[in-house]
Amino acid sequence: MLTGFLLEFSQALLVLMLAPGLAGFVRWVKARLQNRRGAPIWQPYFELAKLFGKEVVISNNASWLFRVTPYIVFASALAVTFLVPFIAAPLPFDNVGDLLVVVYLLLLGTFFLALAGLDPGTAFGGMGASREMTVAGIAEPTIALSIFSLALGAGSTNLSHIVIATLDNPGVALGPGHLLAFAALFVVTLAETGRLPVDNPSTHLELTMIHEAMILEYSGRYLALIEWASWLKLTIFFSLLANLFIPWGLALTLTPAALAMAVFTLIIKLAVLGVVVAVVETRIAKLRLFRVPELLGMSFVLALLAVTSSFLLK
């Protein structure tokens, strides 16, 4: 029991510490691909340290909602890190929540962020919030559907059970249901974490920004928490992609060797996905905002096909 709790907390701590590094790594690879030297990989840690040390400035019009949102966003992302099998399966907290809880915890953060964008009454905030809701409204069911197609194969909505079922039956990983769901979840990952074809993570001053527009009013430790939460979200989505579809390397027993191996493979998988995302972001331009629903519609159809093929071909 105690080792279980220890595992959970060390896993959450690991992901918490890894998240800024992953964001920095993606930025660094992108910079290298664009022939720039790029900031070092640990730059986001310095950013966090700087922001936590700064004073918070809040608009006079902001209500309690504005103040409480960073904590909700951060806490909901942190809660997810306890439920997703990052390094080991099964987890002792499996009974606490399954994939539905994970999806809606992530949505909870998005929801409050959109509210906080509306709260101070600035034009940018409202714009960002309405855009974020447009994207989230299509992206959220796609996440649920694509993970459902895995759940149908495994016979359980529990993330650890899905992982173990894939490990038991490796042939499934090459089935059409799996591949379609992977493609769908990948597109949604780009949309939900504010990556390029949907939102540009590296600019403040674009009229088409989504995430940045909502958090424009934040400063100091609030901004630090929100940034950290968005990096956490990136890590969570990458790990879902990596561990649900390619679960090899996860520790099934709690021996030190297996856990060390699991941490190592997790970092490798995240790095590979980071490089893929950086290449995608360098290769393609941002979509016009009105074409974003088309892209997400495509990924929704992929997810729908994934569910159909895993449901009807059983």
Partner 1 sequence: MDNLFSQLSTLGSSLILLFGIALLWRKSLRAYTVAFQWQSVALTVMFVLIGYFSQDVELYIVAAFLFVLKVLILPRYLERMEKRFGDHRELRPYVNTVTSLIFSGLLVLLAYVVTRPLVLVSELPTRGGLPLAMGLIFVGLFVVITRKKALTQIVGFLVMENGIALLAVLGTYGIPLIVELGVFLDVLMGFLVMQVFVYHIHDTFESIDVDQMNELKH
Q: List contacts with partner 1 (CB under 8 A).
A: 171, 174-176, 179-180, 293-294, 297-298, 300-302, 304-305, 308-309, 312-313
Nearest-approach distance from CB 177 to partner 1, in angstroms? 9
Query: Whose structure tokens read 């499934």?
Result: 172
Closer to partner 1 by CB, 43 or 130: give it.
Answer: 130
> Which of residues 116 and 302 has its CB atom nearest to partner 1 in the complex?
302
Considering the complex, state which of residue 135 and residue 215 has its C-beta at the smaller distance from partner 1. 135
Q: Determine the Cα–Cα distance for residues 304 and 307; give it in Å rounded to an integer.
A: 5
Minimum Å gap between C-beta 183 and partner 1 is 9
Nearer to partner 1, 14 or 179 (CB): 179
Inter-residue contact 70 to 222 (CB < 8 Å)? yes
Q: Which residues pair with 251 in a beta bridge?
A: 88
**Shortest CB 294 distance to partner 1, Å:** 4
- The minimum distance between CB 277 and partner 1, in angstroms, equals 21
Give min distance, CB of 131 to partner 1, in A.
16
Residue with smaller CB distance to partner 1, 14 or 167: 167
Angle CA(195)–CA(55)–CA(208) in degrees, nearest 5? 25
The 3 state secondary structure assigned to 267-312 is: HHHHHHHHHHHHHHHHHCCCCCHHHHHHHHHHHHHHHHHHHHHHHH
Are the CB atoms for 129 and 115 separated by under 8 Å?
Answer: yes
Closest contact distance (angstroms) between CB of 194 and partner 1 is: 21
Cβ distance 57 to 128 under 8 Å?
A: no
How many CB atoms sit inside 10 A of residue 235's CB?
A: 28
Residue nearer to partner 1 on the CB measure, 171 or 256: 171
Query: Residue 151 CA to chain centroid, in angstroms?
Result: 19
Nearer to partner 1, 64 or 290 (CB): 290
d(CA 136, CA 132): 6
Task: Find, among 181, 219, 205, the residue nearest to 309 by Cα.
Answer: 181
How far is residue 234's CA from residue 201's CA, in Å, rounded to a whole number? 12
Residue 25 Cβ, how far from partner 1 at the closest point, in Å? 31
307: exposed, middle or buried (Cβ count in 10 Å: 0-12, 13-18, 19+): buried
- Minimum distance from residue 311 beta carbon to partner 1 (Å): 9
